[in-house]
Amino acid sequence: MFRLLILALALAMGSSASASDRGVTPTEIRLGASVVLSGPLGPQTQEFGQGSRLYFDAVNAAGGVHGRKIVYTTLDDGFDVKRAVDNTRQLIDEQGVFIIYNSTGTAQTGAILPLAEASRTIVFGPVTGATAFRQKVNPYLFHVRASYADEARRIVSHLVDTGISRVTVVYQDDGLGKTLLAELQQAAAAVKIKLDAEVKIDPKAPDYAATAAATERAQPQAVLLGIAGGTLSKFIQATLQTSIRPSFYGFSIANVDLIRRDLQENARGIVLAQIMPPLRNATIPVVSEYHKLLRERDPAAIPSAFQLEGFVHAKLLVEGLRRAGRNLSTASFIKAMEEAGEISFGRFAAKYSPTSHNGSSYVELAIIDNAGQLRY
């Protein structure tokens, strides 16, 4: 009932505001986000932005969305929650963005949602798979990527299929790491797999040798990685200096390009959950479109899985903006998305309705091969 009252109010206000909603002008649609551009997670977040801007630029070059060009502003928060809140407040109050698009982080998303709700600002495609944001519909929050719970279940299912029983979790001691740990605990409990050890690492002051030693003491067959960025690669490097040779499993937040660069031949065999279609499968329409636009921009550019993820997010957002019509408003966008049902880009599909804004549940596992590429 509360949600219906919110939407009724939004529709009433939207009918008068129409195309003049904050961040929507006759010529522009302003988007913004507080994201991680510095620190260990900075490189992959920059790739998200590059993929998004690749698609936005193509849309703008073709005339925009109903004649409006998309303007996308990002502010660095260094993965700090307070800075994320301050940045988001600035984007909403001072820069007047229409949508917070592809912001970064689980704790950060939880912290900015009150600002978004108070200002009736949509948060679209935040980089978090946390279940807590998906259990109840928030009219202003739309997910794109599959949840961390979807990824954890797929990883644990593979352990069952391969008969692995000695399992250790290594997680970064922050909001993201604790969220991934909780999802793995729940997925393991559901299939009665015991997690023999749970080892935490401080992402701001990591002691890789100590973390690797604690992992070695557990003698795992598999190590499930609730870590990301350079922390992941350096932990694996430290573990390979010990006596154990476990299989490593990571979530989709792991950066395969960074892993390949840091670990080189030692990257072979690492298994990563993937929540986007295979980067090298150009038979998938959205993947083919990404490669085409990337080549047109720079024939020497190297395709990136994180760029593809940003590209898919941008394409889905633009589809919603188009369906919202010329009289774009917060209310018309919410209505268009909730009436969308399934939006499919070939192998990737996202679903929306009045009872679910959860987007995609697509998860596959891929293994890094001898060439450092993901093999599905």
- Could you check whether 2-146+282-362 and 148-274 share the same CATH topology? yes
Could you tell me if 159 and 222 are in contact, meaning their C-beta atoms sit under 8 angstroms apart? yes
Structural tokens at position 342: 């399934």
Q: Examine the pLDDT at 258 and tell me if it is beyond 60.
A: yes
Buried b or exposed e, range 290-324, using 16+ CB within 10 angstroms: bbebbeeeeeeeebbbbbbbbbbbbbbbbbbbeeb
Map out the domains of the chain as residue ranges.
Answer: 2-146+282-362, 148-274
**The dihedral formed by the CA atoms of 227, 72, 126 and 154, expressed in degrees to the nearest 10:** -60
Pick the CATH number of 2-146+282-362 from 3.90.420.10, 3.40.50.2300, 3.40.190.10, 2.60.40.10: 3.40.50.2300
Q: What's the mean pLDDT when you consider all of the chain?
A: 93
Could you tell me which CATH class the domain 148-274 is placed in? alpha beta
> Looking at residue 279, what DSSP letter applies?
T
**Arithmetic mean of pLDDT, 184-191:** 97
Distance from C-alpha of 220 to C-alpha of 164, rounded to nearest angstrom: 9
- From residue 60, alpha-carbon distances to 64, 72, 124, 231, 290 in Å are 4, 12, 19, 37, 16
- Residue matched to tokens 């921009």: 297
What digits encode the pLDDT tens for the residues 59-117? 999 999 999 999 999 999 999 999 999 999 999 999 999 999 999 998 999 999 999 99
Q: Which pairs with CB-CB distance under 8 Å and at least 24 residues apart come from 110-113?
A: 110/175, 111/81, 111/84, 111/85, 112/34, 112/84, 112/85, 112/88, 113/138, 113/140, 113/141
pLDDT computed for residue 346 by the predictor:
85
